[in-house]
């Protein structure tokens, strides 16, 4: 199958994954259905832009018409770091432009649609095994996140205290106050010189 654009390679799997979530939540499809025909663009530089069209039944499909998107969601460069700090930080890192009503519905879905891996896995291995596998995966992910957080904290501490690669916040604030005082003194001196001439 030939794709007109390299971004189409990402559009199809993303649309399939999103439709899988929408299949499990009829309320979500009902909220999207009134926007049938609208195109939503997801810009996540440096990755290619994803464009999805909303279908009449509330599902999505890759957009192939090249029309101007009704809604554009742009993830800033700090979005990944913000995601690690929590949902509210992540939502602030998303820039939304376009149809306000559609944006409101999409943001509601972003907040409330969740993948339940236990349910999908239980179809393959049974309920108990699925619960244990997901529990182990969550513990492992938590351990990885904690290790990454500790490593980042250690690197910052090393850069600030040991190598003095970074300036500690109190010193930086003191320097900023000193620069402000110096700027004010220079301005006063310039005014005195102006009066003398």
Higher pLDDT, 20 or 188: 188
- 160: number of CA atoms within 13 Å, CB side? 12
Query: Residue 98, by phi and psi: left (phi above 0), alpha (psi -120 to 50) or beta?
Result: left
Q: What is the maximum alpha-carbon separation in the chain?
A: 90
Q: Quick check: 184 pLDDT over 80?
A: yes
**Residue 39, beta-bridge partner list:** 53
User: For the whole model, what pTM was predicted?
Assistant: 0.55
Could you give the 3-state DSSP secondary structure of residue 166? coil
The residues near 150 (Cβ < 8 Å, ≥ 6 apart) are: none
CATH of 8-112, one of 3.20.19, 1.10.10, 3.30.1050, 3.30.70: 3.30.1050
- Give Rg (Cα) of the chain: 25
The domain segmentation of the chain, as residue ranges, is 8-112, 117-196
pLDDT of residue 46: 74
pLDDT of residue 179: 95
Which has the closest alpha carbon to 84: 144, 160, 168? 144
Is the bond leading into 46 cis (omega within 30 degrees of zero)?
yes
What average pLDDT does the segment 125-141 reach? 83
| Structure tokens belonging to residue 57 | 């039944």
- In this predicted structure, which of 28-42, 51-65, 110-124, 141-155 has the lowest mean pLDDT? 110-124
């Amino acid at each position: 199958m030939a794709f007109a654009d390299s971004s189409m390679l990402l559009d199809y799997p993303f649309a399939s994954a999103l439709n899988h979530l929408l299949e499990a939540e009829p309320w979500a499809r009902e909220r999207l259905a009134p926007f049938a025909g609208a195109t939503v663009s997801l810009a996540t530089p440096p990755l290619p832009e994803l464009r999805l069209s909303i279908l009449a039944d509330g599902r999505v499909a890759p957009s192939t018409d090249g029309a101007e998107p009704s809604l554009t969601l742009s993830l800033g460069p700090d979005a990944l770091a913000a995601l690690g700090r929590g949902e509210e930080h992540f939502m602030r890192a998303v820039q939304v432009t376009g149809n306000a009503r559609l944006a409101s519905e999409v943001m509601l879905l972003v907040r409330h649609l969740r993948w339940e891996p236990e349910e999908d896995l239980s179809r393959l291995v049974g309920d108990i095994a699925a619960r244990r596998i997901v529990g182990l995966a969550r513990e492992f992910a938590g351990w990885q996140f904690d290790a990454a957080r500790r490593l980042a904290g250690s690197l910052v501490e090393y850069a600030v205290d040991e190598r003095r690669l970074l300036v500690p916040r109190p010193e930086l604030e003191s320097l900023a106050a000193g620069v402000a005082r110096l700027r004010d003194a220079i301005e006063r001196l310039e005014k005195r010189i102006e009066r003398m001439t």
